[in-house]
Amino acid sequence: MTNPNHPFLAACRREKTPYTPVWLMRQAGRYMKEYRKLRAEFSFLDLCKRPDLAAEITVTPVERLGVDAAILFADILLLLEPMGVPLEYTKDDGPVISHPVRTGADVDRLKELDPDRSLPFVFEAVRKSRAALNGKVPLIGFAGAPFTLASYLIEGGGSRSYIHTKRLMYSDPGAWRNLMERLSRAVVQYLNAQITAGAQAVQIFDSWVGCMSPEDYQKYVSPHMSATISGLTDGIPVIHFSTGTAGLLRLIRAAGGDIIGVDWRVNLDEAWQQLGYDVGIQGNLDPAALLAPLDEIRGKVGEILRRAGGRPGHIFNLGHGVLPDTPVEHVIAMVQAVHELSAR
């Protein structure tokens, strides 16, 4: 059992904590030699499909870095294959979908997700991670947001301009709505199954929604994000994360979430003021700052904590995932700096 008053869970409820809790997106990844060693032997997907190894990768950063939460080792794209869209993780280009969704007929061919049947290894990894964490820190489950998943499905991989995504959205709004509703249902099923298996908070990654105008966000994204968040099991904190969304913060907050994740392109105090203090905030150190010398890192941590003003409901994190080149000692120093400089 994790203590329900653990600083991470208390911060999710905007309660006072003895120090600001901290974890890092992609805290389990290629910058860590323990991970690279396993990756030399297994493919990324094999690691995701082996609950014993996924749990080991989930727990290692907690022990190594001293962070206040674990995030499940998995990926936002795992649910695409059981929805009928095979994908590959290539070495250099990231995920690649060779038959992307481009038409209404493609959308209609997608299958409903039955997560317990098709992704049992994810939930077994949740149970094994909880057992291995043994109550030390809470476990965060996660999924991609409908928009970010749709962008991968339609583009066939990462993108700069999201041209195919926007073309479908504008030219066939019915197909777009159908796609977003299907993805929203899948994400709700998937996250609720993670929660049933033992996830104590969930983060929804809308990593690429910053490419949208406020008007289009409201029209094409927001209803589906609201439906997703309101479909989740009550009482489990939801972190709503995105990047490049300084101009969308009010709309993002209105779509839902207990904690709003922000990146480093906005000052944390200005972001929080716009969001309102009746919601928590997560962020927002530039991941590249971890390449700086240690005293510089400490200074930047102090600056973010100053902007948070000691208000309850701040969870310290990077503004996006740890970069593969990051020295692990710098991550450890950052976590220590957060704990020391925020102690109250």
The verdict on whether 39 is a catalytic residue reads: yes
Count of other CB atoms within 10 angstroms of residue 343: 9
Contact 111, 81 (CB under 8 A): no
Lookup: tokens for 231? 């479909």
The verdict on whether 182 is a catalytic residue reads: no
Q: Compute the CA torsion angle 52, 55, 61, 64 (nearest 10 deg).
A: -50
Name residue 11's amino acid. A
Minimum CB separation from ligand CP3 for residue 47, in Å? 7
The verdict on whether 265 is a catalytic residue reads: no
Interface with ligand CP3 (CB under 6 A), residue from 8, 142, 162, 190? 142
| Nearer to ligand CP3 (CB atom), residue 40 or residue 343 | 40
The verdict on whether 30 is a catalytic residue reads: yes
Helix (H) or strand (E) holding 242: strand 238-242
Residue 95 interacts with ligand CP3 (CB under 6 A)? yes
Q: Which stretch binds ligand CP3 (CB under 6 A): 9-17, 75-83, 285-293, 309-317?
A: 75-83
Interface with ligand CP3 (CB under 6 A), residue from 13, 89, 172, 302? 89
> Is residue 256 helix, strand or coil?
coil
| Nearer to ligand CP3 (CB atom), residue 14 or residue 208 | 208
Helices (H) and strands (E) in the chain, counts: 16, 9
Helix (H) or strand (E) holding 204: strand 201-206
| Nearer to ligand CP3 (CB atom), residue 22 or residue 77 | 77
Contact 319, 263 (CB under 8 A): yes
Q: Pick the catalytic residue: 13, 19, 39, 89?
A: 39
The verdict on whether 152 is a catalytic residue reads: yes
* Cα 131 off chain centre by: 22
Contact 55, 49 (CB under 8 A): no
Minimum CB separation from ligand CP3 for residue 104, in Å? 25
| Nearer to ligand CP3 (CB atom), residue 315 or residue 341 | 315
State the Cα–Cα distance between residues 286 and 304, nearest whole angstrom: 11
Q: Pick the catalytic residue: 13, 19, 30, 102?
A: 30
Residue 156 interacts with ligand CP3 (CB under 6 A)? no
Q: Which stretch binds ligand CP3 (CB under 6 A): 28-36, 79-87, 177-185, 269-277?
A: 28-36
Catalytic sites, residue numbers: 26, 30, 39, 75, 152
Q: Which residues bind ligand CP3 (CB under 6 A)?
A: 25-30, 39, 44, 71, 73, 75-77, 89, 94-95, 142, 158, 205, 207, 321
